[in-house]
Amino acid sequence: MDQQTFTETLDWLAFTVPQATVDELRPVVGGEWFEAPTGFRGYPTCWLTNQGRHGVGKLGTGAPRNRKEIHVDLSGGIVSTWDELTIRRVLAWIFARGGHVTRMDVALDDRAAGVSIAQVKQAVDAGQAVTRSQKFQVLAGSSLRDGASTGDTLYFGSRESQTMLRVYDKRLELQQKGREEAKDYGVRWELELKKDRAQACAKALLTLPPEDWREFLVGVLRSYVDFRETTHEAEPWEKYRAPLLSWWDTLTEGFTRCRLVVEKVQQTLDEVCQWLGQSISAMLALAYFHRGESFLQQLIYAGSKKWKAKHLAMLHEVRKLRPYVLRPV
């Protein structure tokens, strides 16, 4: 397998900082943040940001036990666009403020799909998966729109554990969503690390040079699950000493030499409108009844003056007109 068929992506990051503000967070993770009408994860105050395609960030704060504490969840649509320097800078900020990482998802992609989902499942059924996990399940996915299959997802571990592994056909999933980049994907091996495991992984990435990240993460993956030439009936010591299956040896070697991919996701105007409707329609309705239509028009005018290149590009793509700034009413 060629080296370039393997990539690594940061797919989720959640953290808590004991004392910080939204204004302090903005320059760290980027994006435009605004207050939402509901709370988040038990925090009475919630702030939201929308970056890139399907990139959503949520911040909770104002808890009675510590009103200046913030908790932040950043989805893959945001963190997958970060390069190594940005990842290290964000992690350094978290730890410098006395914070801790509560969840970190890392995706290792076999872009050429050299190992199929069926092949992995067959190895599990044959007792060739040597793992610390006590639970394995297969969930069949399908589209609610047309019932088409989105493929099986293999789960090692559970949501309650500090480590869970998902293996699924990323290409098929993106094809069902009509995403153009589907052809560039294959089978994804996604580690979901929580609590102490997430904290330890984050500290390791901050400490290690980026060129050593992949070898470290493959070590984390292999410490959780290995595929060896063994059976259900073998003794535990025999399983751990058995030779690796050839496809697993090749796959993990490829992961060790993979590169961090920085996603370049373009958000569409339709996605912006859909997200606004889901996230702040209730707040806009309150503003309308309290201040009237002219207040919303003033907000729109003020917002149009803050447009950047990405906003103008979306407007130009849909309207096929020269970008413009709205005039005040």
The answer to whether residues 109 and 211 belong to one domain is: yes
Domain encompassing residue 278: 269-319
- Where is 246: in which H helix or E strand? helix 246-256
The answer to whether residues 194 and 134 belong to one domain is: yes
CA 13 from centroid of its chain's CA atoms: 7
Q: Pick the last residue of a domain from 221, 240, 260.
A: 260
Q: Pick the last residue of a domain from 235, 260, 285.
A: 260
Q: How many domains does the chain have?
A: 2
Q: Pick the last residue of a domain from 260, 281, 300.
A: 260
pLDDT of residue 325: 47
The answer to whether residues 109 and 187 belong to one domain is: yes
Residue 325 forms part of a structural domain: no
pLDDT of residue 295: 78
Per-residue model confidence as pLDDT tens digits over 147-194: 667 789 999 999 889 999 999 999 988 888 777 788 889 999 999 999
| C-alpha to C-alpha distance for 274 and 240, rounded to whole angstroms | 50
Tokens of 161: 């554990």
pLDDT of residue 3: 42
Give the gyration radius of the chain's Cα atoms. Answer: 22
The answer to whether residues 305 and 193 belong to one domain is: no
Report the amino acid identity of residue 262.
V
Per-residue model confidence as pLDDT tens digits over 132-142: 888 999 998 76
Within a 10 A sphere around the Cβ of 2, how many other Cβ atoms?
A: 10
The answer to whether residues 249 and 131 belong to one domain is: yes
